[in-house]
Amino acid sequence: MKIFLTGGAGYIGSVLAKELSNRGYDVTVYDTLYFGEQALWDIKDQIKIIKGDIRKITKNDLVGQDVVIDLAAISNDPTGELDPKLTESVNHLGRVNVARLSKKAGVKRYIAPSSAGNYGWSDSPVDETSPVNPITTYTIANDAWEKDILPMADKSFTVTVLRQATVYGVSRRMRFDIIVNDFTLQVFRDNKIKIKGDGMEFRPFVHIKDDCQAFIKVIEAEQELVNGEIFNVGTTNQSLRIKEVMETIFKTLKIDPKYEFGELIDKRNYKMNCDKIARVLKFQPRYKIEDGAREVYKALQDGILSIDDPKNITLKWYKMLIEKGEFS
C-alpha cells in the first residue's frame, strides 16, 4: 500500500513515516523542509522525499497513492498568529486543495490530522458530538478545513478526521513548545517550571507513538468504521489539569517541585472524551505522561536532544525564516 504523507518531516510526521515504513508501507513524504530533512535521515533509503508546498501540489503528485495523511500545516496557536492570512491559506485552503486533488487522483483514503484545540473552552467533557469553539487562527482554520472535507466522503473516497490531543514524547524533529516536552525541558534546565496561568486548565494528552498508532488503526480499519467519521485521539484518563501534569513530571523525575505562575494567556480549557476511538477501532494507548517525561529527560541528559537548537521552538524558527524572507 502506498501512503503519501504531507508534513512528513515534522514532529509527528517523521515518527509516523518511520512507523509506516517499518510496517512495510511504501511511504512518500511531501514537505516544505523548512526544518530540514534530518529527522528522516535514518529512513531516507526506505522512503521517497519530495520538497513541496501543499498549496502548489498537483494531481500528478498524488496519482497512484492509496492513502493521503495530510499533516502539513503551520503548527500551533502562537505560530498561527504570526500571519493569519498565511495560516488560513495553508492550514485551511491548502489542505482542502490536497483533499480535492486526492479524490480526483483516485486516492482511496484521506486522513485529516486535526486538533483537540478546536473545542476551545468547555466546562463539560467534550466528545465528537460536542460543539466546537475554535478561538485562535490555528483552530479556526482547522475547523473550516474539517467542514470542507467531510462532505467529500463517499463510497470511493474515505475521509476521516482525527482530533489529536496534545502530543508529547521524543522526535528527531523535536518540539519543546508543547506542554509535557516544555515542562520536562524546564525541569532539566532550571529545576523549576514556569507557566502562564494558574495551572487549573484542563488539556488532553497523547504520546507520539500512540498517536502514530491511531493513524495506523484508521489506515487498516474497514471503510464503514471510519468513513466520514471524527475521532478524538487520546485516552479519557489523560485529560488533566496543567498543574497535575507539572506534579506528575516532578514526581517522575524525583525532583522537588518548584513553580512560577504568571498571567493567563491561553484561554483553552477542555476535558476530552476518547471512548469512541477505543470502542470503534480498539485503540489502546500504551504510554503515559511519566513515560514521556522520562524519555525526554534522558534524551536531554544523553545529548540526543539539544536545549539550544532554535528549530525545537516552532515560533522562534518561523520568525527567523520570516526575517530571512524564506517563509511565505
Specify if 13 maps to a domain.
yes
Specify if 55 maps to a domain.
yes
Give me the number of domains the chain comprises: 1
Look at residue 288 and give its three-state secondary structure. coil
**Dihedral angle sign, alpha carbons of residues 115, 15, 320, 260:** positive
Specify if 70 maps to a domain.
yes
Model confidence, pTM? 0.96
pLDDT of the residue at 145 = 98
**Domain containing residue 137:** 2-323
Per-residue pLDDT tens digits for 83-139 = 999 999 999 999 999 999 999 999 999 999 999 999 999 989 999 999 999 999 999
Specify if 16 maps to a domain.
yes
Q: b/e per residue, 46-70, with b = 16+ CB within 10 A?
A: ebebeebebeebeeebbeebebbbb
Tell me, what CATH number does 21's domain have?
Answer: 3.40.50.720
Specify if 297 maps to a domain.
yes
pLDDT at 170 over 90: yes
**Dihedral angle sign, alpha carbons of residues 18, 19, 25, 28:** negative
Upper half-sphere CA count for residue 3 (Cβ side, 13 Å): 28
Q: Which of 219, 227, 184, 186 is nearest to 205 (CA)?
A: 184
Specify if 235 maps to a domain.
yes
For residue 93, the 8-state DSSP code is I
pLDDT of the residue at 106 = 98
pLDDT at 279 over 90: yes
Specify if 328 maps to a domain.
no
Q: Are 4 and 67 in contact (CB under 8 A)?
A: yes
The stretch 148-162 carries a mean pLDDT of 98
Specify if 295 maps to a domain.
yes
